Amino acid sequence: MIMVLQSGVTLRCLLIGGLVVALSGFTGCSSAPDRSGIAKGYAGEPPTDTDLARWVSQLRDNSTAIEGDSGVHLLGAGTEAYAARLALIAAAGESIDVQYYLFHQDATGTVLTWSLWQAAERGVKVRLLLDDLEKRPDDFPINILDAHPNIEVRLYNPFYRRSGRALQMLGQFARLNHRMHNKSLTADNLATVVGGRNVGDEYFDANKRVNFGDLDVLAVGPVVSEVSSAFDRYWNSELVYPYQMLTNNGGVEQGDKARAQAQVEQSITALEGSPYADALVDSEIAKHLKDASLSMAWAPMALWVDKPDLVAMNARESGGTFVIDRLLTLFGNAEKELFLVSPYFVPRNIGTELLTEKAEAGVKVTVVTNALAATDVVAVHSGYAKRRKTLLKHGVNAYEIKASPDVDPKAWSIESNSSLHAKTFVIDRRWVFVGSFNLDPRSAWLNTEMGILIDSPKLAETMLHNMQGMIDKVAYKVELANDDLVWIDTFNKKRYDTEPNAGWWRRFSAGFMSFMPVEAQL
C-alpha cells in the first residue's frame, strides 16, 4: 500500500478506499517508547554579532517601524521562496529550527538538506522536526542527518516501528490520524519563513509536471520569537520522539553515506546551469537581505498556532484558542470584505452558514479554490461542490483555479499543470493571515496548523491587488444561470456548462464521493 502520495494527502485517500472502516477493529502491536529520558531543548537568545543579526538590525533601522512591529516580505514565487530558505540557512550563525509536514528528497529537497548539513559543519545547531506520515525508505536521509553531532532529528506522532506502516495506520488510526501540518524555517531566532509550502520540487517551481501556486512570508522582528517558542512547544511535546529512540540502527552504513553523496551531486548537477538555477539567481533575495534593501511591510503581527498534544486536539469541539476558533471569530467580525484562498475548501454546514450570512448582510465574500481538473484530491472537491450552489445563491463569489492556464504567470513558472496550494485570508482590507491552514475539516479538527496574522491595511491592499491579477489570468468565475452552474474563463471569457477540462471519470468520482460518509476526514 502506498502510504504517501506526492500531494501528501494520503490519509484522505486511505479513508476514501474504505479500508479504515472495514478494518477498524484491527489492533496494532507496536507500543510507544519510553520518553522519560528525553532531554528538553529550547531556542537560544537571538545573537547580536552574526551577519544575520546585523542585516535584520539594518532592515529595521532603514524602516519606519514602531516598537512592537514585525516585518514581512511576501514570497509568492516558488524560486524566491526556495532562495529565501537557502539564504537563511547560509546566514545562520548559531541555530536553525526546521518544522515541516513533508520534506521530499528530490532535487530541491536534497540541496536544502545538504545546506543544513553544511551549516552544521560550520558549528550551527540544527533541529529538524518532521511529521512522520511521509514514508522514507530505510529512513534515508534523516538517518544521515541525525548522525551529525550538530543535528538532531525528531518526529511528530511517529510510527513506532519503522516498517509495516500500513498495518500500524489501520491498528492505531485514532492516534495516527492526527498529523503536524505546520511549516516553518527559523534562523538564529532572528528570521523565519512561515506559510503554505512544504519542501519539494512542486512547491518551489522546479517540477516539470506540476507546480503548486503557494505563498509564504519571510518575517523578522518580535513575531520570530513567537515562532521559536511554538517550535519549542512541539519539540518538547509528548507526541514528539527523537529519531534515535525509534530505530535500532547502530550507526550510518557506509553505503548510505555514498548514496547521500551521490544524491547531492546528482541534485546539484540537475539544478546547475538550468533555467531554474538562473531564476534562483535572478531572485536576488540573498543580496537584498544582506544590503538591507529587501522590501518589507512593518506592522503588528501575531502567530496563531495549535497546541501539539492529542488531548488538546480531541477537545477542540469545546472551543478555545485553536486556529479554527480564532479564524471563525475573525471571519464572523468581518464588516466589509472576506477574501479567502484555500486549495482544499470544505465549508461543511457551519462554514456555509457563516459565509452566506455574511454575504446576505452586505459583506463582499470571495472564495478562491481549485477547479476539479486542478485539484489533487477529488474527494475534497466533492465536499465543496455539493455546497457550491448554496454559496452562489446567497451572494458568495467563487473562483476556481485552472489546471492549465492560458498564460504563464511568472510567479508560478507553470510548464504543464498547476494547482493552488496557498492558504491566505484577507479580512476587511486590513487583516492578513498567511499559514498552513486549509478551510477544511482536517485542518480544523485533525491536524495541527499555524499561521501569522498581520494587521496591515497596506499589505492587505497589495495582496488583494496581486491576487485579483492572478485570478484574472488563471481562474474560472463560477456563476448560476437558470439554476445551473456555469464557469466563465476570466482570461478569454469562454463559457463552460460542465466542470472545465475535467474528464467524465473525474466528474463521476467527485459526484460519487459526495455521498460517502468521509467528509469529517477531508
Catalytic residue annotation: 181, 183, 188, 421, 423, 428
Phi (first) and psi of residue 166, to 5 degrees: -60, -45
In angstroms, how far apart are the furthest CA atoms of the chain?
69
DSSP 371-401: -TTT-S-HHHHHHHHTTHHHHHHTT-EEEEE
Residue type, 472: D
Distance, in Å, from the CA atom of 384 to the CA atom of 61, rounded to the nearest integer, reads: 46
Torsion angle of the four alpha carbons 131, 137, 138, 142, in this order, in degrees rounded to the nearest 10: -40
Q: Where are the beta strands (DSSP E) in 138-215?
A: 151-156, 184-187, 191-195, 210-213
Secondary structure letter of residue 47 according to DSSP? P
Q: Tell me how many degrees the CA angle 291-201-403 measures, rounded to the nearest 5.
A: 110
Q: Each residue of 158-196: b (16+ CB within 10 Å) or e?
A: bbbebeebebbbbbbbeebbbbbbbbbbbbbbbbbbbbb
Distance, in Å, from the CA atom of 496 to the CA atom of 489, rounded to the nearest integer, reads: 8
- For residue 42, what are the CA distances in angstroms to 82, 246, 432, 451? 26, 22, 29, 21
